[in-house]
Amino acid sequence: MSENEADADVEAEAETDAETQSGIQEGDFVRIDYNVRTVSDDRVVDTTRQDVAEEAGIDDDEYDFSPRIIVVGEGHVFPGVDEALTGNEVGNEGTVDISAEDGFGEYDQEEVRTISSAKLDEENRRPGAQVQIDGEQGYVETVIGGRARVDFNHPLAGEDLEYEYEVVDVVEDDEEKAAGLLGMYLQMEPELRIETETVEEEVTVEDEEGEETTETEEVEQRTLYIEASQQMQMNQQWMFQKQQVAQELMDRLDLDRVVVEEVFDGSSGGMMGGMGGMMGGMGGAEQIEEELEDIEGDLEDADVDAEEIVEELDDE
């Protein structure tokens, strides 16, 4: 093979690689619209579209029907959908068939178990109730006497699915990416912002003689600030996975820190909120103790004769 022919082959391979790498790639943040239906009865089980939800009779006031942000190739969708999105383009639509095995698994009769109904809260001792027993999610099938039959299979186990999707856009903005990831984990998108700050950092350097010294230098630091509302703080997914979520945000968005700012508003104050505010202004436990002692002293000094009061009322 001549040198020119070898160069031509290299160029052809490079062009082929470039074509292969065109379009959406693994690791890209993509916003998609989708509908998921069961193949057996064409039932909508998940959707991002309000009109489809209304037509299917899905009524959830707290659910935000809008396109979702996912990271391609990271298991945020079914494997077959990840494959279909790779190399795809914005605006394209498609349908992927998901077998039960690749979806929520085959139905396992052994996952239907009989337990003591005492393990169920009283309000959940009825067919159809969703329950959690020893860390497992399940649905009550029957309750007879002191025994309950609970199905621990996923509600869609054994169902082949049809996944329709449309690629809305590729997300480039880091704040949008952060909001999308949090929305995927928490089913809510908190207020957030990314700030680049200049901070002083101590570094160890060696002088010409090889001796180490410590110097201070200014470095830029990217920080994601998340406003954690009370709703977010009570979110179980966040409570149990906040460290994992924060690490993923830092890794994917090249962040140095994630700062969570707790937010308390007046709409959920109530008795405890009022007491907390009052006690916070008292200056700590010692001052509270002093205040209580003063109150007790005042009560002791207040010599009230009940019989005397009754006599005065009779005289009137």
Beta strands in the chain (DSSP E): 29-38, 44-47, 68-71, 93-98, 112-116, 130-133, 136-144, 147-151, 161-170, 192-206, 212-228, 257-262
246 lies in some domain: yes
What CATH number is associated with residue 144? 2.40.10
State both tokens at 297. 């002293």
316 lies in some domain: no
What CATH number is associated with residue 230? 3.30.300
Question: Do 166 and 57 belong together in one domain?
Answer: yes
What CATH number is associated with residue 50? 3.10.50.40
For the chain, the domain total comes to 3
Question: Do 249 and 193 belong together in one domain?
Answer: yes
255 lies in some domain: yes
Question: Do 75 and 119 belong together in one domain?
Answer: no
Question: Do 73 and 180 belong together in one domain?
Answer: no
Burial of 223 (0-12, 13-18, 19+ CB in 10 A): middle
Query: How is residue 109 annotated by DSSP?
Result: G
53 lies in some domain: yes
* Whether 81 contacts 64, CB under 8 Å: no
Determine the structural domain holding residue 37 and report its residue range: 22-103+159-170
Question: Do 138 and 34 belong together in one domain?
Answer: no
293 lies in some domain: no
Question: Do 140 and 261 belong together in one domain?
Answer: no
Question: Do 164 and 78 belong together in one domain?
Answer: yes
CB-CB neighbours of 79 under 10 Å: 13
Task: Choose one of 83, 117, 151: the last residue of a domain.
Answer: 151
Question: Do 49 and 164 belong together in one domain?
Answer: yes
Question: Do 61 and 163 belong together in one domain?
Answer: yes
Give the residue among 171, 170, 174 at the shortest CA–CA distance from 258. 174
Pairing of strands 212-228, 257-262: parallel
Alpha helices by DSSP H, listed for 39-173, are 50-55, 79-85
Q: What tens-digit pLDDT sequence spans the chain (316 residues)?
A: 555 565 556 565 545 454 456 799 999 999 999 999 999 999 999 999 999 999 998 877 767 789 999 999 999 999 999 999 999 999 999 999 999 999 999 999 999 999 999 999 999 999 999 999 988 999 999 999 899 999 999 999 999 999 999 999 999 999 999 999 998 888 888 899 999 988 888 888 887 777 888 888 888 999 999 998 888 888 888 888 889 999 999 999 999 999 999 877 665 544 333 333 333 333 444 444 554 455 455 545 544 454 554 455 455 5
199 lies in some domain: yes
**Helix, strand, or coil (residue 3):** helix
